Structure 1
């Protein structure tokens, strides 16, 4: 096992964790750092989107997503747009668990807990498991993520979507619209 690759994958995992754990400290900006680079043909999969079918970057980028990006995120910052959507409902929403990952030559696995407080004082928490594969060039080639269904369904309901049959494109267009750059 190459210790350099494992160390790089752990650094990539940390930058992802830090991007989600400290966005409020960074002026409400989400950034994964310089090391977290998605390969042009990366694949993403979650059982909560597209009936669990993996999608390539090209498949996720529909005409509707492109139009929403041009209108609502002309700065290209989709990560922060998604979080601005959540902050409308939970101003303190962020990753709250300490950094922990299992890194290998293939990539890394992490389990993180996110939390935010609703206006009525209810704290919503969501656990997420990420399996992220990284190639020899240090680019993310696949990202599979899983969350606890019950809190996920509640959160999806907060933003006006139905979790049943939801596509990644519908979710993306929604968060771009709801988390639009203030104009």
Structure 2
């Protein structure tokens, strides 16, 4: 096992964690850092989108997503737009678990807990499990993510989305409209 490659994958994992853990400290800006780079043909999969069918970057980038990006995130910053959507309902929403990952030559896995205070004072927590594959060039080639279904449905209800049949494109357009730079 190449210790350099494992160390790089762990650093990429840390930059992802830090991007989600410290956005409030960074002026409400979400950024994964310079080492977290997607390969042009990367794939994402979650059982909560597209009925669990993996999608390539090209498939995720529909005409509707492109139009919403042009209008609401012309600078390309989709991460911050997604979090602005959550901050409208939970101003303190962030990753609250300490950094922990299992890195290997293939990439890394991690389990994170996100939390935010709802208007009624209760705290909504969501656990996420990520499996992220990284190629020899240090680019993310695949990201599979899983969350607690009940908590995910609570989050989606906050932003008016129905979980059944939800596509990644519908979710993306919604967070761009709700949290984009024009809002």
Q: CA deviation at 1:182?
A: 3.7
Alignment RMSD (CA, Å): 0.6
Scaled by the length of structure 2, the TM-score of the pair is 0.99
| Residue in structure 1 matched with residue 165 of structure 2 by the alignment | 165
Count of aligned residue pairs for this structure pair: 183
Secondary structure (helix, strand or coil) at the match of 2:98 reads coil
CA distance in 2, matches of 1:182, 1:48: 28
Deviations 1:39-77 (A, max 9, x none): 000000000000000000000000000000001111110
| Residue in structure 2 matched with residue 133 of structure 1 by the alignment | 133
CA distance in 2, matches of 1:171, 1:28: 21
Residue 38 of structure 2 is aligned to residue 27 of structure 1: no
Secondary structure (helix, strand or coil) at the match of 2:43 reads strand
Deviations 1:96-138 (A, max 9, x none): 0000000000000000000000111010000000000000000
Hey, which bits of structure 1, 4+ residues long, moved more than 2 A? none
| Residue in structure 1 matched with residue 104 of structure 2 by the alignment | 104
CA distance in 2, matches of 1:163, 1:182: 26
Secondary structure (helix, strand or coil) at the match of 1:89 reads coil
Secondary structure (helix, strand or coil) at the match of 1:48 reads coil
